[in-house]
Structure 1
Amino acid sequence: MNDSTHPPALVIFDCDGTLVDSEVVAAQAWSEHVAGYGVQLSAEEALARFRGVSMTWCLAHIEELRGSSLPQDFEQDLRALMARLLEQQLQPINGALEMVEQLHLPFALASNAPHHKIELCLRVTRLLPHFAGRIFSAYDVQRWKPDPALFLFAAERMGVDPGRCVVVEDSLPGVQAGLAAGMKVVALQEHGVHQDMPDSVQVITHLSQLHAHLV
């Protein structure tokens, strides 16, 4: 359980959609790539369906839409397309760089994405120096949000009790993972609050509002 008797000692950020505006770019890549395999999926649909979920789930969903298995090189080619688009288009979430530069608490990053994608996103947006040595991927534990294992792993590696951690997330699976880990959760909801957002979660619409919730 979140320890309300002690102030927070660690902030754990998600990456995609929380620090970097990569989910829109990734959705564009999905839409372009699956079209070559006979699946019509708009970028808007990809964004709504795939936000915060694992690659395994996404691939299974495309196979279901297609009615047949995808070739072995599908994911590799998709990730290569994503990387090209991210290099060309990726921007930080509004206020992300200023927020981490001013943050008074220790912080880390815990993402469902593999390390190479996380580091690419942080490098392009100039955030990487702020998180070097404190980046945790679901691939490290082979468990993906909404499973709490990644957040618990990050807290353990940072030497902080889960009850003194604050998770900053944008997706519902990430929020659910933070709550399941017994952590305080702040949800960045720039474009409207998710209809299933739990009442216990504190909501912000801009990262500049985060500091008020770190008490």
Structure 2
Amino acid sequence: MPIDDVLTLDRKIRACLFDMDGLLINTEDIYTATLNEILAHHGKGPLTWDVKIHLQGLPGPVAAEKVIKTYDLPLTWEEYERLNVEVQSNKWGDCAFLPGALELIKHLKSKNIPIALCTSSGKYKFENKTKHLQHGFELFDAVVTGDDKRIPEGRGKPFPDIWQVGLKQLNEADGTDIKPEDCLVFEDGIPGVKAGLAFGAYVIWVPHPGAVEYLGDTVQLLNGNGEILKSLEDLEKSKYGL
């Protein structure tokens, strides 16, 4: 499907749920740079998008195991994660909102549309990535991180649990009964898109430019329940009643 194709929508949107990494902030590029440092230290790499596309949106331990296996690294996933945190900790100050992200968050807030952040990043990483960006992240009505105890072990994306927890938190906070089919899920990675579809929402898919040629059959995956955008700036808000 051409990336600028627009699908029609016949449902009223009452809430919006967002991924974070690579969708709202530029952490996918930071992840690539830091992982390449680790791989180079072991005489491996560089990381390419045909590999990276299978890492996006996965819980940390799952992504770590995939990297270790793909590049035959002499590390356990725990060792890899410690090294990853050490290298990444020097980069989180470079996190910045991607085009259209902050503007969309502020717009939805001004329209009193409930918004939830549902990120596979654990709480520690989330806080370190966003502590200098609170003028945007403090606007979310609910924040769910990948290590939230309400998400059963092994049920990270592409399972829908994180979106279910986010919507439950929105409903409990506002005394509402919003259904998954009343929601937009915003994602950049394939696991998150699959999770959003399994959740029952309409998915706005904003892939990294480097990932586009590796997305596969997007028409089959979305099955009429989403659209692909080049940027959040391209979202036609009026089309969704936003």
TM-score norm. by structure 1 comes to: 0.85
Is 1:189 equivalent to 2:207 in the alignment? Answer: yes
**Residue by residue, what CA displacement relative to the aligned partner does 1:141-177 show, whole Å, maximum 9, x if unpaired?**
1321101111111111111221211100011111100
Deviation track 1:50-80 (CA, whole Å, cap 9, x = no partner) reads: 2222322222223323264437443123113
Separation of aligned partners in 2, 1:85 and 1:181: 33
CA contact (8 A) 2:19 2:117 kept: yes
Match of 1:41 in 2: 45
* Aligned equivalents of 2:10, 2:66: Cα separation in 1: 43
Q: Tell me which residue corresponds to 1:204.
A: 229
The runs of 5 or more residues in structure 1 that have no matched partner are none
Query: Distance in 2 between the 1:130 and 1:78 partners?
Result: 29
CA contact (8 A) 1:39 1:66 kept: no
TM-score by length of 2: 0.77
In the alignment, what sits opposite 1:130? 139
Q: How does 1:58-77 map to 2 (within 5 A)?
A: 58-64=63-69, 65-66=71-72, 68-70=74-76, 72-77=78-83
Q: 1:42 is matched by which residue type in structure 2?
A: P
Cα deviations by residue, 1:2-56 (Å, 9 ceiling, x for unpaired): xx775111100000011001011011111112333x2512144564442222322
Q: Using the alignment, how far apart are the partners of 2:59 and 2:23 within structure 1?
A: 16
Asked if the contact 2:55–2:66 (Cα under 8 Å) also holds between the matched residues in 1, the reply is no
Query: Across the two proteins, how many residue pairs are aligned to each other?
Result: 209
Percent identity, please: 21
Could you say if the C-alpha distance between residues 48 and 182 of structure 1 is closer, same or farther in structure 2, counting changes exceeding 3 Å? closer
Partners of 2:147 and 2:65 lie apart in 1 by 18
Provide the aligned C-alpha RMSD in A.
Answer: 2.3
Q: Which runs of 5+ in 2 are unaligned?
A: 1-8, 172-177
